[in-house]
Amino acid sequence: MVQYRRRTIGVGIAFVGEGGFVAKLIAQRLLSFIPQLFLVSLIVFCLVLLVPGDPATTLAGEDAPPEVVESIREDLGFNDPLVEQYARMVGRLVQGDLGTSITTNVPVSEALKENAPVTLSLTFVAMTFAILIGVPLGILAAYHSGRSLDRFFTLIATLGVAAPGFFVGMMLVFVFAIKVQWFPSVAYEPLSDGVGPWFRHLVLPGLALGFAASAEITRQLRSAMKDALSQDYIRTAKAKGLMPPRVVLKHALKNAAVPLVTVIGLQLTVLLGGALVMERVFALNGLGSLAVNAVRGKDLPMLQGIVLVGVFISMLVNLAVDLSYGYFNPRMRAR
């Protein structure tokens, strides 16, 4: 007879049989994705309600004749009940239509397709730097816990969390682009022009953006590794005569993987938002400049489109993180 157990994982409860737990986990997590999408789209829709006064008047300009205002209102459907407006937005979204920009008359999805690679490349490079810096620092700090190396790394991490990324970016430009001229300070080279130039243009913004994230990774990994290193099985492994690097990397790091993956996932969504600001420092034409222009032009469909794409990517990241728990934490699979 198949025995069922009740296990709580993140959202909701799963009934788990002897096998296929991971499959159930994936299915359940995917199912919770749909109501979340619905709520998220509702929040994005509600941005319309925040526009002060009458959006049609705002769009038409201060001294536009009433007929023009009325035609805009009719065109954009502001006369319909809110429920109808929302239903229409969802209907369009399901078909992959994000609407049309009010200021440029270009489909929002076209503009996003053009600018998103810049933001995503920047986020990707920043995350890579954050992991490359944060993980070794976190491990070393935990291994040398309480000693001067630990205190030094912890100090850097505390400063890193407090430093505004755009200020760090300006300082990096000053040193590495103006003083020594190792890296370009502005512009973006598409990946299709080669990995080298693409990466060279993203080094400084990536470092500036990834700095705070690396600090956060260092802090979290340090405390997770400290916990792991104080466990009995570490003492056993050491007693068996295993070399410290092997004990740290194989035994302890594996057990600190869940908090590490969690913080990386969280930081990825933070970086996605931070990238919008960093783009301005390095004059990159990504979603950030698109968003700032949309705000200046009161281009609400464009703004909503950018937010929807951002939140969708962040939801996918969260989904991947949740699913990875099944891999990193064997206890979730075994039972």
In the complex, which residues of this chain contact another protein (CB under 8 A)?
A: 11, 35-36, 39-40, 42-44, 47-48, 50-52, 158-159, 161-167, 170-171, 173-174, 178, 269-270, 272-274, 276-277, 280-281, 288, 291-292, 294-295, 300, 303-304, 306-307, 310-311, 314-315, 318
Tokens of 287: 């979603």
Eight-state DSSP code of residue 283: T
- Minimum Å distance from CB 289 to another protein? 10
- Minimum Å distance from CB 23 to another protein? 23
Nearer to another protein, 53 or 196 (CB): 53
Nearer to another protein, 234 or 270 (CB): 270
- Minimum Å distance from CB 263 to another protein? 15
Nearer to another protein, 218 or 269 (CB): 269
What sign does the CA torsion over 274, 277, 283, 284 have? positive
Eight-state DSSP code of residue 7: E
In which region does residue 187 sit, left (phi positive, over 0), alpha (psi from -120 to 50) or beta (all else)?
left
**Could you write out the DSSP letters of every residue in 13-32?**
EEEE-SS-HHHHHHHHHHHH
> How many alpha carbons lie under 13 Å from residue 119 in its C-beta half-sphere?
29
- Minimum Å distance from CB 272 to another protein? 4
Nearer to another protein, 172 or 256 (CB): 172
- Minimum Å distance from CB 67 to another protein? 25
Which element (helix H / strand E) includes 89?
Answer: helix 82-94
Nearer to another protein, 188 or 279 (CB): 279
Rounded to a whole number of angstroms, the distance between the first and last alpha carbons of the chain is 16
Eight-state DSSP code of residue 5: E
